[in-house]
């Protein structure tokens, strides 16, 4: 598949894999006997929960910071890197910057759970709590870039970020080259877009299924509108899927539109039940955004019988109080 106007190609993803080698874990793809029996299919779980930063975001953040150092030298990042995040990207930038010897500042809205804030601070990054949404936090990021000369590491809308996330797709194709479907949480589109680019370039017939929140699904609403649109950010068990895609989106809107085959929105109840099911039957602690693939299979009755299906368990950043809420909601 050739590189399109979004700037991401299979070659970019292979380059990203070279850059992040030794910094990011190649995560296992494991068979789930319980889910396979439940859906009469071979269900495989991609365990990004095992990344040292706790989520897939480490791939893109490491690739971008390493690429900037490679192209411009470490001195070009002397003022530090900065980003806004719903938690996982901020932690990934803090982790990658620490390993690569670059100072980092992470701007977080008040919607980001306290456990994710603490995890970022523990990595030595400076944290600024700003505004009621990720979009408002980005206003502070723009100020820091403008006034302090810091370098933005965007959460998703950059070819280097999407290519880094796409390394996950390479691993899927190497470990299960005959996959019928990959189910991925959809928010800003860096993860689904990167995975989709890698998978479709290698095996075009594999379906890429996106899963969004029932409310505040910015990328899905933008795709329906045919252009990036703003949506109200709402609280969710899957808080990592919140936030807009940027009205000036240059990369991931086009990338997702190119590679995604189908899409489903899931309710909070379905997310809660999926989180509990994964904990009870797989003995894996996952955040809401990591459980939406299972939520979609259960809520929408996707026809996967006899197929080989990978669910991307994207991260483990769940607070105990959030897990308690999920249990309560699932037991209603």
pLDDT tens for residues 90-115? 999 999 999 999 999 999 988 777 87
Model confidence at 131: pLDDT above 50: yes
| CB 54 within 8 Å of CB 39 | no
Which residue range(s) make up the domain with 130? Answer: 57-152
What's the rounded Cα separation, in Å, for the pair 20 and 41? 33
CB neighbour class for 258 (10 Å; exposed up to 12, middle 13-18, buried from 19)? middle
Q: How far is CA 203 from CA 40, 277, 310, in A?
A: 23, 31, 14
- pTM attached to this predicted model: 0.94
pLDDT (0 to 100) of residue 75: 92
Residues 230 and 302 in one domain: yes
Residues 210 and 299 in one domain: yes
pLDDT tens-digit map of 38-61 = 999 999 999 999 999 999 999 999
Residues 174 and 50 in one domain: yes
Residues 275 and 313 in one domain: yes
Residues 81 and 206 in one domain: no
Q: Answer yes or no: 314 catalytic.
A: yes
pLDDT (0 to 100) of residue 138: 87
Residues 146 and 246 in one domain: no
Which SS3 state, helix, strand or coil, does residue 187 take? Answer: coil
pLDDT (0 to 100) of residue 332: 81
What's the rounded Cα separation, in Å, for the pair 125 and 91? 9
Q: Any idea what the CATH number is for the domain that residue 283 is in?
A: 3.40.50.1100
pLDDT (0 to 100) of residue 3: 46
Contacts of 128 (CB under 8 A, 6+ apart): 105, 106, 107, 108, 137, 140
What are the strands, taking DSSP E only, across 69-110?
81-85, 104-108
Residues 196 and 264 in one domain: yes
What's the rounded Cα separation, in Å, for the pair 212 and 216? 8
Model confidence at 292: pLDDT above 90: yes
Residues 190 and 296 in one domain: yes
What is the average pLDDT value for the chain, to the nearest integer? 94
What's the rounded Cα separation, in Å, for the pair 60 and 67? 10
Report how far Cα 120 is from the mean position of its chain's Cα atoms: 17
Q: Give the chain's length.
A: 332
pLDDT (0 to 100) of residue 4: 62
**How many domains does the structure of the chain reveal?**
2
pLDDT band of residue 304 (cuts 50, 70, 90) is very high
Is residue 25 a part of any domain in this protein? yes
215 versus 160: which is more confidently predicted?
A: 160
| CB 47 within 8 Å of CB 54 | no
Q: Answer yes or no: 46 catalytic.
A: no
Which range (72-76, 203-207, 243-247, 286-290) has the least confidence? Answer: 243-247
Model confidence at 1: pLDDT above 50: no
| CB 260 within 8 Å of CB 171 | no
DSSP-derived pairing of the beta strands 308-313 and 181-185: parallel
> Of 152, 184, 209, which residue constitutes the final position of a domain?
152
pLDDT (0 to 100) of residue 323: 92
Q: From the candidates 32, 53, 57, 109, give the one annotated as an active-site residue.
A: 57
3-state helix, strand, coil in the chain (%, to 5): 50, 15, 35
> Of 152, 181, 212, which residue constitutes the final position of a domain?
152
pLDDT tens-digit map of 145-158 = 999 999 999 999 99
Is residue 3 a part of any domain in this protein? no
């Amino acid at each position: 598949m050739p590189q399109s106007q979004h700037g991401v190609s299979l070659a970019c993803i292979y380059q990203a894999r070279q850059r992040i080698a030794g910094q990011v874990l190649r995560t296992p793809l494991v068979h789930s006997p319980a889910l396979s029996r439940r859906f009469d299919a071979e269900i495989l779980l991609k365990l990004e929960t095992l990344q040292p930063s706790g989520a897939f975001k480490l791939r893109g953040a490491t690739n971008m910071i390493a690429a900037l150092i490679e192209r411009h030298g470490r001195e070009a990042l002397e003022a530090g890197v900065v980003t806004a995040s719903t938690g996982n990207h901020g932690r990934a930038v803090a982790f990658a910057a620490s390993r690569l010897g670059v100072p980092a500042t992470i701007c977080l809205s008040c919607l980001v759970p306290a456990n994710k804030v603490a995890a970022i601070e523990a990595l030595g990054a400076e944290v600024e709590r700003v505004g009621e949404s990720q979009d408002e936090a980005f206003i502070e990021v723009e100020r820091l870039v403008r006034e302090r000369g810091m370098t933005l590491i965007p959460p998703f809308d950059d070819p280097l970020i999407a290519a880094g996330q796409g390394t996950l797709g390479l691993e899927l194709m190497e470990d299960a080259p005959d996959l019928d479907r990959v189910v991925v949480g959809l928010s800003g589109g860096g993860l689904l877009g990167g995975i989709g680019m890698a998978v479709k370039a290698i095996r075009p017939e594999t379906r890429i299924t996106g899963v969004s929140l029932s409310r505040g699904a910015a990328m899905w609403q933008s795709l329906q509108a045919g252009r990036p649109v703003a949506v109200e950010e709402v609280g969710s068990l899957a808080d990592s899927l919140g936030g807009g895609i940027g009205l000036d989106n240059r990369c991931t809107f086009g990338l997702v539109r190119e590679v995604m085959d189908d899409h489903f929105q899931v309710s909070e109840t379905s997310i809660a039940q999926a989180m509990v099911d994964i904990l009870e039957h797989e003995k894996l602690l996952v955040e809401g955004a990591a459980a939406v693939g299972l939520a979609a299979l259960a809520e929408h009755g996707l026809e996967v019988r006899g197929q080989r299906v990978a669910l991307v368990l994207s991260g483990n950043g769940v607070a105990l109080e959030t897990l308690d809420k999920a249990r309560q909601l699932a037991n209603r």
